[in-house]
Structure 1
Amino acid sequence: MLSLLSLNHRGVLRAIQSGYIVNLISHYKNGHKLFMAIFR
């Protein structure tokens, strides 16, 4: 169980380092702006 958690933690750190999380957040923000512009 502990090894599984550490494995997931390492995967999260790797995702953050590769900028995947940043890309995901910016993509969500852009999508939200587009959504608000369409349904204003």
Structure 2
Amino acid sequence: TWVIADACKAIDLNGSLDQAWKDMALAGVNRIDSAELTD
């Protein structure tokens, strides 16, 4: 599973965004930015 980070908008409450990224990484989710996409 991949998440395009700059294509998402999160609501960050008291560090919840950092925790969400950590949880997703532990679950095997890959994080990239749209600039890394190629044809």
Do both share a fold (TM > 0.5)? no
Higher normalized contact order (CA 8 Å, seq sep 6+, divided by chain length): 2
TM-score computed with the length of structure 2 as normaliser = 0.39
Q: Which structure features the higher share of strand residues?
A: 2
